[in-house]
Amino acid sequence: MLEKINKLLEEVEGFAATTKEQVEEYRIKWLSKKGEVSILFDDFKSVPAEIKKEVGQKLNQLKNKAQEKINHFKETFDSEKSSNTDIPDLTLPKFPTLQNGSRHPLSLVKNEIIEVFAKIGFTVSDGREIEDDWHNFTALNTPENHPARDMQDTFYVNIDPEMVLRTQTSSVQVHVMQNQKPPIRTISPGRVYRNEAISARAHCQFHQVEGLYIDEKASFADLKQTLLYFSKEMFGTETKIRLRPSYFPFTEPSAEMDISCTICKGKGCNICKHSGWVEILGCGMVDPKVLENCGIDSNKYKGFAFGMGIERIAMLKYQVKDLRLFFENDVRFLKQFTSA
């Protein structure tokens, strides 16, 4: 029996596996229930007592060695397998799934406003964001002591000459009137700035669309009809409008326009503060003095103008309750407009 054990021990010591399958083959051969080591343990029972100790020690040595060898090669092949995971997985799709981008909600609303007015002949005029005091205020009949000129509202970029970050896109109408001959029919979308504390309802930068119409015959009824058309296109054919008398330095008469609440359809809700109406823009007949300031004969021409905040329209359209969301660019917010 000793001879048998020694022979097997030699085999075990000289063993080197080249494949995983070989390791398994030898594990079965030596260590399984019916393997050679087990058989030897069975035979051990009949070994004479005087050599039992010696044979027993050898047998244990064989068993441990065989187990050691098998474990060693098993580990070698297992770690090789895990390092193979660096090999690219050829079953993956050709391109990783890319998330679709989306237009910013303010761009969507701006483009929609442009489209609505384009259908009735309004062109788009661009202006500048850094504006001189004359275009932003003086030409628009804003007296020097007007509160809108207050340092608290306006960001001054330069004091002499006075240059400001425009506080309203109305400044673009001044440029248009200076450079074009009537008839004029144009809208001017763009960013404006005011020195205001940032909150859910106010921001130091926001967007406006200015509208200007100048012709020999332009009446308040034309203004009203234009704005009714716009409101129905933008918020649905059911939408009603109402004009309330107001004051702007550059229009006379002036009005503010409300639309019937898009959320409760005029019944009264939180958004319209239970009045059934929400204010969306300012408007009026261009003050003759403004026409004259810009080189247009106020005896021959009349005009109407209007101005609205894009954020306000977007908040109503998409029921956004916090203005700041438009400027934070959190993708979780923007993602919602992917299919819009």
Q: Which residues bind to ligand DAH, rule: CB under 6 A? A: 168, 170, 210, 248, 251, 282-284, 305-307
Residue 170 or 293: the one with the smaller Cβ distance to ligand DAH is 170
**Minimum CB separation from ligand DAH for residue 255, in Å?**
8
Q: How far is the CB of 305 from ligand DAH (least distance, A)?
A: 3
CB 281 to ligand DAH: min, Å: 7
**Residue with smaller CB distance to ligand DAH, 105 or 307:** 307
Residue (26 or 206) nearer to ligand DAH, CB: 206
Tell me the three-class secondary structure of the chain, residue by residue.
CHHHHHHHHHHHHCCCCCCHHHHHHHHHHHHCCCCHHHHHHHHHCCCCHHHHHHHHHHHHHHHHHHHHHHHHHHHHHHHHHHHHHHCCCCCCCCCCCCCCCCCCHHHHHHHHHHHHHHCCCCEECCCCCEEEHHHHCHHHCCCCCCHHHCCCCCCEEECCCCEEECCCCHHHHHHHHHHCCCCEEEEEEEEEECCCCCCCCCCCEEEEEEEEEEECCCCHHHHHHHHHHHHHHHHCCCCCEEEEEEEECCEEEEEEEEEECCCCCCCCCCCCCCCCEEEEEEEEEECHHHHHHCCCCCCCCEEEEEEEEHHHHHHHHHCCCCCCHHHHCCHHHHHHHCCC
Nearer to ligand DAH, 172 or 272 (CB): 172
Residue nearest to ligand DAH (CB): 307
> Which CB, 59 or 223, lies closer to ligand DAH?
223
Q: Compute the least distance from the CB of residue 264 to ligand DAH, in Å.
A: 26
CB of 123 to ligand DAH, least distance (A): 16
